[in-house]
């Protein structure tokens, strides 16, 4: 018996020892002795994530409990600041995991996401539904006017209070249990939606076997399709995927109408193919659960719930805003469609313009009216030159320097790393750039971070920021040559990066800004992308290094209003779709296709244009909660950015004083109410005039 007991003890000790050894080898439990404490990607293994998440949640729970158990009178310092300091390990793990899951995902990563999403939802609910913790926050909140708080501290306190109220802390016991269940279900469903659309987007939309079917396509597009096919095991063929960088050039240049239709329909039907990755059941359940959650919290709709914290404040304001823009935008789009229809008839065809024809005939009209087409521009937009250009703009505006760092680890060979410095050499942060598509990567473009800036108790933490895209890849004989749209996207995401790099707050949560303000820093950067003065700085031919000729720059300038009706309408249509999904007032699950059709008919979308996204693939609003009831924010922020850029036009493109004021806006965002911050920059509230002028809608 003693021998048996002794063996059990030995086995137990060995098990504990192995577990401890495993934990000791887990990089998330160690100090990262890397340049600027950047993630040591080569040391991080997939099996490290789950134990790190579990330990992170345990530590966070213990830290929260310590705040709750404190016998001291609740103060900003011992409650709010301690809340801000809590969860450091969990944040560290989550930042790495979710960035990698978006860029180099695989089946194992996705399984971890499926396991951890409901656990994180429960963990967050355990905090936000804790009445004892809320009572401490509430007692500080009720005396906030007497506490001599800074504007950042006051806003942070108000956000904590509203987060707990909106997080269900005032619900009854039964309501809280249902609230938890809804959040858990939503966490699983939104993850699944994103995974399904990734699978659909990475599928091949069109395979071409006959070289005659490639007529009209630029050589770079043909070569790219050939290499895509090869990577998919289709040697000797040409493949076009449903990534925007792949399908858009085909629609622009191919005279093969039936092939354009096939590829376009494959793109818009993502999530709607009645296969294993169909999202209709998922999204209608998401919409229904969001209504139920909003109702539990006393809101009529999910949009009422979400917009309460935005600049727009309520659905009525958003609908009025969208409708006011829709009237001139749809008028302009109709005139653009008429122009293309005339060209179709002029060529001896008798078919009606359809959505899959738009890119092709828009390119023809642009060539006819402005003697400009995409193939003339791409040779001047070598990726490295565009990056150099955007860095030069940041240098001229804010004095920033960007130094490539080959000694800092990356998570994929495509990724480059830059140290960002002030003009005096002071370190600002790190920028990772990841610009090429791959099957393991989400579609679209975005900015994220591995670490946010903060300065709690004078412990200054610098940011680690990422810019990701899915731009045209280099081929065997040509570098990556971007389209004009991709150039604008690169400048856009870099604007987000500047916001993250230059924002200076004491507290990590102080960085939160409303969804209808967050696009201002990104969209204003697009104004520099194609400005003649800036094009002269970076647009150089990839073979000769000759700058873009003045004649070509002028053609770009002349064509700036071209197709603006289409671009505005497709964005507005998606914004309306988002708002109608989220102003549902009951939990009855909708027939997705009928619902969408009714909405688009109601707003008067013309048959020649599709919404920028369809419900079944609308990642912004159904793969997470961030942009739900918030897609209008892009157009809302366009009003802000057009008005803000006008301040530079009224002085000069790189006016030091105006740039200094705008940098202050970037630095302080999240510490002052957005409209007040904007007025400090501009001296007044924004006007819509500049946007209407820029889009030819006035």
Residue 476: per-residue pLDDT: 87
Residue 24: per-residue pLDDT: 79
What string of DSSP letters covers 250-305?
A: HHHH---HHHHHHHHHHHHTTT-SSSTT--HHHHHHHHHHHHHHHHHTT-SSHHHH
Cα–Cα dist 609/570, whole Å? 7
Look at residue 428 and give its three-state secondary structure: strand
Q: pLDDT-derived band of residue 23, with 50, 70 and 90 as boundaries?
A: confident
- Please tell me the least confidently modeled range out of 8-17, 282-291, 582-591, 593-602: 8-17
Q: Which domains, and CATH codes, for the chain?
A: 2-128+130-166 (1.10.1370.40), 202-268 (no CATH), 379-558+645-667 (1.10.1370.40)
- What are the two backbone dihedrals, phi and then psi, of residue 454, each rounded to the nearest 5 degrees? -160, 170
Cα–Cα dist 131/527, whole Å? 48
Decide if pLDDT at 21 tops 60. Answer: no
Q: Identify the helix (H) or strand (E) that includes residue 570.
A: helix 564-581
Residue 512: per-residue pLDDT: 82
pLDDT digits (tens, 9 = 90+) for 533-548: 999 999 999 999 999 9
pLDDT digits (tens, 9 = 90+) for 263-280: 999 999 999 999 999 999
Instruction: Bin 459: left if φ > 0, else alpha if -120 < ψ < 50, else beta.
Output: beta
Catalytic residue among 493, 570, 596, 610: 493
Query: 612: closest CA among 574, 654, 659?
Result: 574
Q: Write down the pTM of the prediction.
A: 0.93
Residue 446: per-residue pLDDT: 98
**CA neighbours within 13 Å on the CB side: how many for 666?**
27
Residue 18: per-residue pLDDT: 53
Decide if pLDDT at 261 tops 50. Answer: yes
CB atoms within 10 A of CB 567: 18
Structure tokens that stand for 160 in this block: 């904590």
- Sign of the CA dihedral running 289, 294, 300, 306: negative
493 annotated active-site: yes
Q: pLDDT-derived band of residue 15, with 50, 70 and 90 as boundaries?
A: very low
Rounded to an integer, what is the distance from CA 446 to the centroid of its chain? Answer: 4
Q: pLDDT-derived band of residue 17, with 50, 70 and 90 as boundaries?
A: very low
pLDDT digits (tens, 9 = 90+) for 547-574: 999 999 999 999 999 999 999 999 999 9
Decide if pLDDT at 22 tops 90. Answer: no
Decide if pLDDT at 11 tops 80. Answer: no
Cα–Cα dist 147/75, whole Å? 9
Cα–Cα dist 311/679, whole Å? 13
Looking at the DSSP bridge assignments, the partners of residue 382 are 481
pLDDT digits (tens, 9 = 90+) for 296-325: 999 999 999 999 999 999 999 999 999 999
Residue 374: per-residue pLDDT: 86
What string of DSSP letters covers 645-691?
A: HHHHHTS-TT-HHHHHHHHHHHHHBTTB-HHHHHHHHHSS---SHHH
Q: pLDDT-derived band of residue 389, with 50, 70 and 90 as boundaries?
A: very high
pLDDT digits (tens, 9 = 90+) for 475-512: 888 999 999 999 999 999 999 999 999 999 999 876 68
- Please tell me the least confidently modeled range out of 101-105, 249-253, 373-377, 645-649: 373-377
Looking at the DSSP bridge assignments, the partners of residue 208 are 238
Q: What is the mean pLDDT of the chain?
A: 95
Residue 498: per-residue pLDDT: 98
User: Cβ(218)–Cβ(375) under 8 Å?
Assistant: yes
Cα–Cα dist 36/462, whole Å? 8
């Amino acid at each position: 018996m003693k021998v048996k007991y002794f063996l059990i003890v030995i086995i137990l000790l060995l098990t504990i020892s192995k577990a401890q050894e495993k934990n000791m080898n887990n990089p998330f439990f160690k100090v990262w002795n890397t340049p600027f404490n950047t993630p040591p990607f080569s040391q991080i293994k997939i099996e490290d994530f789950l134990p790190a998440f579990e330990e992170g949640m345990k530590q966070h729970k213990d830290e929260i409990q310590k705040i709750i158990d404190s016998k001291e009178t609740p103060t900003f310092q011992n409650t709010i600041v301690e809340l801000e300091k809590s969860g450091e390990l969990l944040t560290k793990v989550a930042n790495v995991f979710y960035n990698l899951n978006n860029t180099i995902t695989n089946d194992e990563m996705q399984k971890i996401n499926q396991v951890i999403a409901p656990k994180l939802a429960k963990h967050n609910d355990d905090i936000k539904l804790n009445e004892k913790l809320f009572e401490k926050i509430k007692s500080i909140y009720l005396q906030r006017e007497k506490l001599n708080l800074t504007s950042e501290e006051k806003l942070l306190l108000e956000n904590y209070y509203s987060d707990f109220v909106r997080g269900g802390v005032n619900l009854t016991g039964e309501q809280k249990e249902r609230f938890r269940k809804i959040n858990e279900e939503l966490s699983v469903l939104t993850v699944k939606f994103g995974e399904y659309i990734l699978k659909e987007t990475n599928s091949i939309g069109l395979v071409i076997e006959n070289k005659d079917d490639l007529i009209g396509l630029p050589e770079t597009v043909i070569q790219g399709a050939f290499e895509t096919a090869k990577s998919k095991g289709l040697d000797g063929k040409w493949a076009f995927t449903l990534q925007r960088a792949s399908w858009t050039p085909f629609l622009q240049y191919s005279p093969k109408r039936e092939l354009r239709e096939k590829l376009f329909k494959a793109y818009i039907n993502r999530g709607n193919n009645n296969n294993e990755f169909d999202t209709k059941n998922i999204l209608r359940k998401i919409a229904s659960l969001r209504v139920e959650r909003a109702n539990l919290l006393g809101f009529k709709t999910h949009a009422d719930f979400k917009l309460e914290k935005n600049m727009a404040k309520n659905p009525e304001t958003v609908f009025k805003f969208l409708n006011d823009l829709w009237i001139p935008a749809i008028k302009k789009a109709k005139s653009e469609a008429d122009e293309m229809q005339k060209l179709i008839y002029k060529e001896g065809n008798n078919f009606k313009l359809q959505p899959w024809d738009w890119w092709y005939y828009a390119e023809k009209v642009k060539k006819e009216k402005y003697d400009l087409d995409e193939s003339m521009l791409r040779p001047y937009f070598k990726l490295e030159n565009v990056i150099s250009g955007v860095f030069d703009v940041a240098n001229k505006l804010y004095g920033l320097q960007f130094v490539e760092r080959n000694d800092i680890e990356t998570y994929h060979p495509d990724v480059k790393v830059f140290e960002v410095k002030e003009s005096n050499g002071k370190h600002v942060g790190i920028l990772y750039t990841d610009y090429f598509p791959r099957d393991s990567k989400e579609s679209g473009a975005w900015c994220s971070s591995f670490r946010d800036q903060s300065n709690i108790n004078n412990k200054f933490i610098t940011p680690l920021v990422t810019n990701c895209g899915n731009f045209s890849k280099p081929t065997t004989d040509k570098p990556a040559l971007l389209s004009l749209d991709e150039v604008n996207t690169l400048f856009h995401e870099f604007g987000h990066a500047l916001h993250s790099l230059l924002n200076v707050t004491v507290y990590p949560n102080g960085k939160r800004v409303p969804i209808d303000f967050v696009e201002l820093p990104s969209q204003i950067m697009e104004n520099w992308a194609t400005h003649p003065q800036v094009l002269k700085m970076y647009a150089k031919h990839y073979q000769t290094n000759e700058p873009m000729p003045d004649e070509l720059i002028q053609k770009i300038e002349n064509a700036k209003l071209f197709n603006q009706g289409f671009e505005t309408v497709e964005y507005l249509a998606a914004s309306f779709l988002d708002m109608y999904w989220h102003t549902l007032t009951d939990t009855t699950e909708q027939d997705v296709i009928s619902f969408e059709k009714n909405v688009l008919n109601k707003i008067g979308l013309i048959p020649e244009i599709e919404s920028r996204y369809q419900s079944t693939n609308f990642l912004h609003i159904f793969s997470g909660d961030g942009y739900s009831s918030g897609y209008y924010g892009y157009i809302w922020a366009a009003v802000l950015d057009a008005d803000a850029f006008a301040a530079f036009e009224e002085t000069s493109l790189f006016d030091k004083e105006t740039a200094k004021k705008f940098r202050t806006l970037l630095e302080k965002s999240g510490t002052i109410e957005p409209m007040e911050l904007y007025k400090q920059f501009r001296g007044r509230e924004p006007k819509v005039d500049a946007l209407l002028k820029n889009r030819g809608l006035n």
